[in-house]
């Protein structure tokens, strides 16, 4: 089992940047594909970005392509989400998720993930 803890959220003006971090417990972090999801008030949870075990493969939802970057440092058991050019519509609680896998691919359906963090709030003011 892995425990995920997100950090780095906050209040930022439109056009600003934030970097979210997700720290994972355990010694087998490089056995997990990782993903970021978000949920805005009154809306369903949506996929944001995903990364494979090694970090070689990444995938983004269209609305964040060119603005967000997902990365990971396996030696630090941490995955990041660098968010630039933030927009008010990016306001949400952001969650990281982990899926144990032997594959080198990424996953973008929430139901594919086994472990979830508690989330960190990101608020973008206009």
Residue 27 confidence (pLDDT): 81
Residue 100 confidence (pLDDT): 96
33-80 confidence digits (pLDDT tens): 999 999 999 999 999 999 999 999 999 999 999 999 999 999 999 999
Find the mean pLDDT for residues 82-104. 97
Round to whole Å and give the CA distance between 74 and 28: 9
In whole numbers, what is the pLDDT of the chain averaged over residues?
97
Residue 1 confidence (pLDDT): 85
Has residue 20 got a pLDDT over 90?
A: yes
Backbone φ and ψ for 56, nearest 5 degrees, come out as -75, -25
Residue 42 confidence (pLDDT): 95
Round to whole Å and give the CA distance between 95 and 59: 16
Find the mean pLDDT for residues 90-104. 97
Has residue 26 got a pLDDT over 90?
A: no
Length of the chain: 126
């Amino acid at each position: 089992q892995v425990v995920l803890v997100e950090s780095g959220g906050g209040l930022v003006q439109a056009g600003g940047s934030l970097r979210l971090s997700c720290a994972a417990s355990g010694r087998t972090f490089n056995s997990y594909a990782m993903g970021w999801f978000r949920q805005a008030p009154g809306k369903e949870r949506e996929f944001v970005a995903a990364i494979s075990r090694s970090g070689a493969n990444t995938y983004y939802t269209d609305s964040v392509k060119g603005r967000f970057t997902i990365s990971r440092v396996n030696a630090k058991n941490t995955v990041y989400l660098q968010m630039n050019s933030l927009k008010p519509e990016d306001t949400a609680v952001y969650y990281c998720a982990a899926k144990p896998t032997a594959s080198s691919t990424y996953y973008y359906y929430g139901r594919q993930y086994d472990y979830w963090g508690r989330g960190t709030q990101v608020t973008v003011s206009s």
